[in-house]
């Protein structure tokens, strides 16, 4: 049986809570396993067939993931479109939240557009924007 092995991204909240290194945060039967012959391996992908990514299987869903040492807010904005920005508010470091048409910071009220630009302060710097590319054939989002 052929399996795909994808890096299991861990919710940033879990990362912050445990404070462990990224490599030690992996868990489950695939953690640390090298890919078998013919298997795809991706260190910056979200497999939407993986139950941990269930929030991204519907439009309007989002989750915070840690990829390549960055905490990213990933959100599904249409059946085929996703956005990805830094989940760390540029004002004082709180975790921002997706709110359908914008991104909000719960700490002091900053608001950001879906491309990370500042709509309302006190934040003055944009959230770092990343690229999220969806492949409907594989049901995988690739983050860069
Ligand atoms: S930390 Fe986000 S507005 Fe202050």
Residue of minimum CA distance from atom 1 in ligand 1: 92
Distance from the CA of 3 to the center of ligand 1, in angstroms?
A: 42
Q: What is the mean pLDDT of residues 32-58?
A: 72
Q: What is the mean pLDDT of residues 107-123?
A: 98
Q: What is the pTM of this model?
A: 0.73
Residue 41 — very low, low, confident or very high, per pLDDT cuts 50/70/90? low
Distance from the CA of 105 to the center of ligand 1, in angstroms?
A: 6
Ligand 1 touching residue 123 (CB < 6 A): yes
- Cα radius of gyration rounded to whole Å, the chain: 16
Selected residue with higher pLDDT from 81 and 67: 81
Asked if 99 and 112 touch (Cβ cutoff 8 Å), the reply is no
How far CA 3 is from CA of 37, 45, 68, in Å, comes to 10, 15, 23
- Report the CATH architecture of 5-19+43-143: 3-layer Sandwich (2.102)
Q: What do you get for the CA distance between the two ends of the chain, in Å?
A: 30
How far CA 18 is from CA of 8, 11, 52, 74, in Å, comes to 16, 11, 18, 21
User: Domain-by-domain residue ranges, the chain?
Assistant: 5-19+43-143
Residue 26: phi and psi, rounded to 5, are -75, 145
Question: Is 71's pLDDT higher than 90?
Answer: yes
Per the prediction, the chain carries an average pLDDT of: 79
Residue of minimum CA distance from atom 4 in ligand 1: 108
Range from 30-44, 57-71, 90-104, 112-126 carrying the lowest mean pLDDT: 30-44
Residue 43 — very low, low, confident or very high, per pLDDT cuts 50/70/90? confident
**Cα angle: 64, vertex 53, 82; to 5 degrees:** 65
Question: Is 28's pLDDT higher than 50?
Answer: no
């Amino acid at each position: 049986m052929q399996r795909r092995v994808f890096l299991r991204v861990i919710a940033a909240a879990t990362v912050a809570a445990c404070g462990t290194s990224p490599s030690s945060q992996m868990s489950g039967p695939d953690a640390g396993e090298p890919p078998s012959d013919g298997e795809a391996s991706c260190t910056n992908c979200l497999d939407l067939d993986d139950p941990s990514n269930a929030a991204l299987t519907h439009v309007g869903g989002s989750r915070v993931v840690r990829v390549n040492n960055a905490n990213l807010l990933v959100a599904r904005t249409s059946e085929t479109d996703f956005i990805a920005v830094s989940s760390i508010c540029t004002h004082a470091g709180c975790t921002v939240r997706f709110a359908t048409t914008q991104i909000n910071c719960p700490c002091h009220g900053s608001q950001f557009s879906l491309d990370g630009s500042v709509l309302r302060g006190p934040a003055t710097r944009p959230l770092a924007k990343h690229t999220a590319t969806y492949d409907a054939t594989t049901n995988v989002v690739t983050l860069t």
